Structure 1
């Protein structure tokens, strides 16, 4: 009978990059226990222990807590239980992604308030950023859309990450428009026209060349009385500025990417 290969804690530390102290901790809590030799005081890992350690490192890389990893490694764990834990962890990461994107949007608005003015953001802008509700995007689940619009959204946005990406691209530019208005940036100015170009690029990007999807967005704007209060107030405050910057951009003979891709 072929003898099972044995690995010392030092060998596994070098092989996996996990510190000896961490491996000792996993042993102490019986997460990945070391085997004990019957004939000597030597302690070691077997190949099956390495498989268990690889599972632990995988779950740990997903951000799971030790207690959750322990449950997953129990022999009674079912595929359904594993699915539940992983789905829960996925949702946590989605929320972290949402939080990161919201912070980036606020930073971009602050930078827009500083750009070319070399001054601190105005008090009104600071107050707005402080009072923003990062979870406003989740309030859209309570907004009633017609069936055609719902089907179009479902077709183009398969997961939560895609929705957050679109929402925060839009929200970041809305907040930037607020900063420009508060700083009295004129639509025809260099800053205003740079904004118009990026606004059009954003619209083209989120519609992905689909006239049907663009029409849904236009209908949504017309019926924005159903939007969450925060976003409705922001777009009402910025809408005139955005329209003027885009109209000036297009009237100046700049490339009309918006219409070219959605004709």
Structure 2
């Protein structure tokens, strides 16, 4: 008579929780026999083979519905096709996570270096970008129709390749002396990434080419300190050094954090200038 094993024994043998074994049965990976009187489940060696095959296939991250088809229905050619499809899927996942890893490394590097850039003006070309502006000062941009509000979902769904970005409404040195400057907040993306990710830019985003600029990093604290911080830490020092601002400065948020008893924001900024 063929040996039969209770579900607890199989769980210990294969390292599969009992709840998972019930789930595997529900998915159709295995069909243990049931005692009519006790309703206990019993597994034989054939059932164990199915469980091992299912675990093996799950290690390749096949969906449960596909595993059920492979272990119960598929021929060799069908299994080959499923392996090929999963191979393409895993390659895509590797590329996806490689991209995330590169972006995370870039953000981490900024955190390690931004303190050294505060208060220093460095000649550097601004990044080429599309900017989708959604907020003017503290007012969100809205239109007459709900369908015409800024299209943000198609952009923020592509974090972290889309960056929180601001634009200061300044084009000349005299604008700075006026004091109360206006600004836009939005999201930016490089043209290359916009093409790769099919991010919509036509008619909803402004294109900004790379420009000769002065680059620096500045800090702001609580609400309503952003504009004064830009003026005092960035724009006035640039003017004092004899530069002429020739276009709207563009910058990005680096980090928001809590430093002891204060809230702190750190930004990087590119100011197009001529000497």
- Is the TM value for this pair above 0.5? no
Q: Rg: which structure is higher?
A: 2
User: Under a length normalisation based on structure 2, what TM-score does the superposition of the two structures give?
Assistant: 0.42
* Structure number having the greater strand percentage: 2
Say which structure is richer in helix. Answer: 1
Provide TM-score, normalisation by structure 1: 0.44
